[in-house]
Chains A and B, each alone.
Chain A
Amino acid sequence: MTTELIEYQSYHDQLHKSRSFNWVLVRDLLRFLRKSKFRKSLIVSQYGYKLVDQYFSKLDPQEGWDLLEQVIVCCLDCNQIEKAQTLLNRLVAKFTTNSVRVKRLIGMLYECQGLIQEAINVYQTILQEYPSDSMSMKRQISIYKSQGIHNRAIQLLNTYLQIYMCDFEAWLELASIHINLLSYKSALFCYEEIILNAPINYLFYVKYAEISYSLGGADNFILALKYYTHSLELNSPLDYPEQDHPPTNLPSIYGIIMSIYSFCESSHGGVNKLKDSQVNLMEWAQKQLLDITNQYTPDKKDIVSAFIKLTDIPKKSTTPKDVEQQQPTIEK
């Protein structure tokens, strides 16, 4: 089993190793990026532009136009307006400006050139024709975001989310705007909705726990601890003992240590208020962290053991009874 990051790295290495232009490899890379949603705009605008410019006839025609759209957006992300313009002209020649997707790309080009009013006009004409075009609504929201008018963006996003409640990308966006404005409480609510949408994805639990930890306070530290443990239950390093890369869910092991430590330090918390199972969990997390470091990155052992020493909690005044318990337990 490999993670997506390792997969991307192998694509990257192959691209730099091959001397001639390997168009199959570039096509596969673009496919992979569309699936995994990584933001690698510079690579796409370099290699992808060459692919759609010189090898377009070799591509599957249906996929070719999708690739063209992908490359245009990445060129705009890198502010390479001339490249985007030439590719867009090809799309206009094929589909004419009646197509909604082409119109939206023209709007994006205006945005990139800084012609905000023209872009808004484009999106509004699309919305007049097709009032349920969610992509254009999202573009309008991101225009407000780019202008720094966050209140208006949040307002529009809220009305958008009343219609499309299942769109978890919009919830993510709303959460990230709230985090930028430091209103963690609202961001927490957004992540609750996201977790309802995707209850088996460990990443959202980690995110939720991180926000709850940032809010601070003894109760929130314990809440964060619960969510960290739940994400560990979904993606535990014990599930995949024989693999050649470190486990993907290290943040939650660090999170468990940090939230228990902060709970002990906070004014309403304290070591004596911890349950026995939580003390055991702390020991388990420290042991796991050391084991993982020994196995994958022995050169960083000093840093990790210093971290563990720094965040260690003092012994409880009453001795814990069931020390044998190894697995993390979850109190709900």
Chain B
Amino acid sequence: MKKVIAQFLCFIGVVVFLHTVYSALQHRKYLRLTDQPFERIPNDIVFECIVSLVIFSWGIINTQILTPIKVSTHLAKKSFDSFAYTPNFTVFKNRGQYINSLLNDN
């Protein structure tokens, strides 16, 4: 349930952010038409931008289970089998020769 809400908030965050971009462009266009110099973005647009950032970051953190930051995480899925066998030192005088003849007989 929390995941769905988080995804929804992500979406809202993106939409609000796009709206800020659009309003900033609109504002510039208005200034150009009325021949005023462009000095700063109005406060309400800045506020909207920050709100969208907060909403979006809360959402993105909660949409997935984060993997722990630990150096040994990738080694935790190794098992003993991968270190019990040293391929460069294989010995061919093993049970293979007997088992193989049995397998071929059947």
Contacts and interface: CB of A to CB of B under 8 A. Distances in A.
B66 interface: no
A235 B75 contact: yes
Contacts of A38: 81-82, 85
B87 interface: yes
Interface residues of A, number: 45
Size category of the B interface is: 20 to 34
A142 interface: yes
A200 B92 contact: no
B100 A4 contact: no
Identify the interface centre among B71, B77, B80, B91: most chain A CB within 10 Å of its CB.
B77
Interface stretch (A74-82, A122-130, A211-219): A74-82
A322 interface: no
A81 to B, nearest CB: 9
Contact of A78 (B77, B82, B88, B96): B96
Would you call the interface of chain A mostly helix, strand, loop, or mixed? helix
Contact of A202 (B72, B89, B90, B99): B72
A249 B76 contact: yes
Contacts of B72: 200-202, 234-235
Contact of A37 (B71, B76, B82, B93): B82
Interface in A1-33: 1-5
A150 B92 CA distance: 16
A146 B91 contact: yes
A203 B77 contact: no
A79 B97 contact: yes
B70 interface: yes
Contacts of A1: 67, 76-77
A39 B67 CA distance: 30
Interface in A200-240: 200-204, 207, 234-235, 239-240
Q: Across chains A and B, which 5 residue pairs bring their CB atoms closest together, nearest first?
A: A79-B96, A79-B97, A39-B85, A112-B92, A146-B91
Interface of A: 1-5, 36-39, 41, 73, 76-80, 108, 111-112, 114, 135, 138-139, 141-142, 145-146, 169-170, 172-173, 176, 200-204, 207, 234-235, 239-240, 242, 248-249
